[in-house]
Structure 1
Amino acid sequence: MAVEDNCKLKFLELKKRTHRFIIFRIDGQQVVVEKLGSPQETYDDFTASLPADECRYAVFDFDFTTNENCQKSKIFFIAWSPDSSRVRMKMVYASSKDRFKRELDGIQVELQATDPSEMSFDIIKSRAL
């Protein structure tokens, strides 16, 4: 599975806080950028951007405050594979995930979700701390 150069470029921009999130999809034989979230967009905006019945990869720059009251941020990689998506699609995304993730240097937390409850704001926050 090839990774479009634009994917790496946009990920570097996310690390510089130009984007809040990026949603990627597999198009034919390569991974491409589907949507960019502006820095003002929220976690709810991000989850609303994921299709209900198709797989996607996504990265989200999560800002949070630690128990010691320090402002921090962590970059999450989310493999979105809803139960309602086609079996073949799930297999393609699952088999390409590790190779794609290796292309994105700087992922701090990985999460796999098959339904929105598995990536709720509380779960993301608990994984960040």
Structure 2
Amino acid sequence: MAVHDDCKLKFQELKAKRSYRFIVFKIQEQQVVVEKLGDPSESYEDMASFPADECRYAVYDFDFTTDENCQKSKIFFIAWSPDTSKVRMKMVYASSKDRFKRELDGIQVDMQATDPSEMSLDLVKARAI
């Protein structure tokens, strides 16, 4: 599975410059491409509205405050693979996930979701700490 250069470039901009809050990726014509870029002012909910019957990858830059009142940030990788998506699509996403993730240097938390409840903001907060 090829990874479009734009995927790595936009991820570096998210990581280094904080140009984006999130990036949603999809597989199109045998390569991973950027589908949507989230402005730094956008919320987790803006990113998490994935198609109900299609797989996606996403990275999300999550800002939070620790119990010691320190501002921190973690980059989440989310693999969205709903039960209602086609078996072939789920297989393609599952088989290319690790290779794609290796292309994005700096992922701190990995999440897999088949249902919106498995990637709720509360779960993200719990995994960040």
Q: CA deviation at 1:103?
A: 0.2
Q: Is 2:26 aligned against 1:14?
A: no
Quote the sequence identity (%): 78
Q: In structure 1, what is the equivalent of residue 92 of structure 2?
A: 92
Aligned counterpart, 1:44: 45
For the aligned residues, what is the CA RMSD? Answer: 0.5
Q: CA deviation at 1:128?
A: 0.2
CA shift, 1:110, in A, is: 0.2
TM-score by length of 2: 0.98
State TM-score, norm by structure 1.
0.98
Where does residue 101 of structure 1 map in the other structure? Answer: 101
| In structure 2, C-alpha distance between the alignment counterparts of 1:97 and 1:44, rounded to whole Å | 23
What does 1:1-129 correspond to in 2, within 5 Å?
1-15=1-15, 16-48=17-49, 50-129=50-129
SS at match of 2:20: coil
Amino acid at match of 1:21: F
Show CA shifts across 1:60-104 (max 9, x none).
000001111111000000000011100100000000000000000
Q: Secondary structure at the match of 2:24?
A: strand
Match of 1:36, as an amino acid?
Answer: L
- Work out the CA distance in 2 between the residues paired with 1:71 and 1:20: 16
State the aligned residue count.
128
The DSSP-based 3-state class of the residue aligned with 2:84 is coil
Structure 1 CA distance for aligned equivalents of residues 73 and 52 of structure 2? 27
For residue 124 of structure 1, what is the amino acid of its counterpart?
A: V
